[in-house]
Amino acid sequence: MSNTPTTLFDKVWDAHVIRKIEDGPDVFFIDRHFIHEVTSPVAFLGLENRGVNVMFPDRTYATADHNTPTVNQHLPVQDPLSANQLKALETNSSKYGISHWGLGNPKNGIVHVVGPENGITLPGMTIVCGDSHTSTHGAFGAIAFGIGTSEVEMVLSSQCIMQPKPKKMRINVNGNLSKGVTPKDVILYIISKLTTAGATGYFVEYAGDVFENMSMEGRMTVCNMSIEMGARGGMIAPDQTTFNYINGREKAPKGEAWDKALAYWKTLKTEEGATFDKEYNFDAADIEPMITYGTNPGMGIGISNHIPLAEEVGGGKSTYEKSLNYMGFHEGEEMKGKKIDYVFIGSCTNGRIEDFRAFASVIKGRKKAENVTAWIVPGSHVVEQQIKDEGILDILTEAGFQLRQPGCSACLAMNDDKIPAGKYAVSTSNRNFEGRQGPGARTLLASPLVAAAAAVTGVVTDPRELLEEAAV
């Protein structure tokens, strides 16, 4: 029925279905495909084994990020396995005519940072990548989600995947965020309420004042972590903030094409009265700076709170105890004041310029705590250059920090950036799973402000205390 109000998600999804299979998935067309060195080699091998070509090479972009060093990128990569993977990406891209931004290329960086940065990500698109944080691109009103390597092979060979349509969820956050509360805190708060599996089977639309007032980079942080509550992806309706961000970027439409695109983009919103399978409402005033204490991203609390008692949390007691045991924490303890060893700022979640500005706002005029090792990793070369141009590098250097080169780094610790066993890392990345940042590493997920406060005090610290001092 044409009069039925529809959702943003339905508009974009339905426009990309080529065929509906009865009692099966939709054959779903993919506008843009990102690949990286880790999840693509076996897909290319599959193409070779079948003798099949890449159908639309100009719809795929390759960047090296997961398994790259963050120092001395001008030198040959030391680890032969990593070097081999990077070489495979380069060879495969060249063989099939795919744009490749390898190490040393000025456009190189984390796939979910460079896509939007170059204007590849646009409203209304369908975007996939063999990486679960592809949900990041949903910030532009795109349907974007992570896929497995078999699906990478499908997209390369046919520009389609076979995907059942997810259910729809809307999460509304209204009101004003307090000082020191960032987009990262908003999404960690939401995940803590929904749990790590609370949105499994759903595609999320984030709506309300908080997201309307948020920058594009903030929206990317939020959509990025949709997968951490099980959702395949999350999206935000495009608006003037979106259009301003896109305008002028290299791959963005220009001239007449821009006007045409803009007219289309303005239709991409959920209509009044459209229904969702599930809807949540949160009040911005309830959100404070967040930190995680356990081994999944749903195990987060406001920084001034205590670790919940086993009986207060859902799920199995033994799983909860295993988690706290791994972290070396006890139920009921306060998070503030806990000694930390490492700080990691970066990743596709918080590796953009606004994140480094936030970090710098706290450390300016202070010194890195002696017990802390800090890894500061920009999301791309463009971000690295901004850090230098805006004088943030000087602030970092003055405070005793060093800037590394772009890549996924300690977020998944595939390269040498591994947190040692038993050590505590306050990390702006997206996962605190056991061993995620290195075997035995203990991760506390938080915002760049919380990471900065920990970096200069050496313990878990409420950044608002430092922000207030700075304001005096």
Name residues contacting another protein, limited to 142-201 (CB under 8 A). 146-151, 153-154, 157-162, 164, 166, 196-197, 200-201
The single residue among 54, 122, 301, 419 that binds another protein, judged by CB under 8 A, is 122
Select 31 or 288, whichever has its Cβ closest to another protein. 31
Select 14 or 283, whichever has its Cβ closest to another protein. 14
Q: Does 428 bind another protein (CB under 8 A)?
A: no
Q: Does 27 bind another protein (CB under 8 A)?
A: yes
**Which residue stretch of 23-31, 352-360, 390-398, 458-466 sits at the interface with another protein (rule: CB under 8 A)?**
23-31
Residue 39, CB half-sphere, CA atoms under 13 Å: how many?
Answer: 22
Smallest distance from the beta carbon of 223 to another protein, in angstroms? Answer: 15
Smallest distance from the beta carbon of 230 to another protein, in angstroms? Answer: 6
Select 21 or 470, whichever has its Cβ closest to another protein. 21
Q: Does 57 bind another protein (CB under 8 A)?
A: no
By CB under 8 A, how many residues form the interface with another protein?
Answer: 81
Smallest distance from the beta carbon of 361 to another protein, in angstroms? Answer: 31
Select 232 or 381, whichever has its Cβ closest to another protein. 232
Select 254 or 364, whichever has its Cβ closest to another protein. 254
Q: Does 459 bind another protein (CB under 8 A)?
A: no
Sign of the C-alpha dihedral computed for residues 337, 339, 344 and 348 taken in this order: negative
Select 88 or 310, whichever has its Cβ closest to another protein. 88
Residue 256, CB half-sphere, CA atoms under 13 Å: how many?
Answer: 0
**Which residue stretch of 51-59, 330-338, 366-374, 398-406 sits at the interface with another protein (rule: CB under 8 A)?**
51-59
376/394 Cα distance (integer angstroms): 13
What is the footprint of another protein within residues 400-419 (CB under 8 A)?
A: 412-414, 418
Sign of the C-alpha dihedral computed for residues 400, 404, 407 and 412 taken in this order: negative
**Which residue stretch of 45-53, 101-109, 282-290, 372-380 sits at the interface with another protein (rule: CB under 8 A)?**
45-53
Q: Does 60 bind another protein (CB under 8 A)?
A: no
Q: Does 138 bind another protein (CB under 8 A)?
A: no
Q: Does 325 bind another protein (CB under 8 A)?
A: no
Smallest distance from the beta carbon of 227 to another protein, in angstroms? Answer: 8
Smallest distance from the beta carbon of 412 to another protein, in angstroms? Answer: 4
**Which residue stretch of 12-20, 186-194, 213-221, 278-286 sits at the interface with another protein (rule: CB under 8 A)?**
12-20
Give the contacts of 19 (CB within 8 A, at least 6 positions apart).
26, 27
The single residue among 21, 285, 309, 470 that binds another protein, judged by CB under 8 A, is 21
Select 52 or 309, whichever has its Cβ closest to another protein. 52
The single residue among 71, 81, 285, 470 that binds another protein, judged by CB under 8 A, is 81
254/266 Cα distance (integer angstroms): 17
The single residue among 112, 436, 442, 464 that binds another protein, judged by CB under 8 A, is 436
Q: Does 346 bind another protein (CB under 8 A)?
A: no
Binding mask 243-282 for another protein (x = CB under 8 A): ---------------------x------------------
Q: Does 22 bind another protein (CB under 8 A)?
A: yes
Q: Does 232 bind another protein (CB under 8 A)?
A: yes
Dihedral of the alpha carbons of 435, 436, 441, 444, in degrees to the nearest 10: -130
The single residue among 192, 296, 347, 380 that binds another protein, judged by CB under 8 A, is 296
Smallest distance from the beta carbon of 159 to another protein, in angstroms? Answer: 6
Q: Which residues pair with 444 in a beta bridge?
A: 426
Smallest distance from the beta carbon of 465 to another protein, in angstroms? Answer: 33
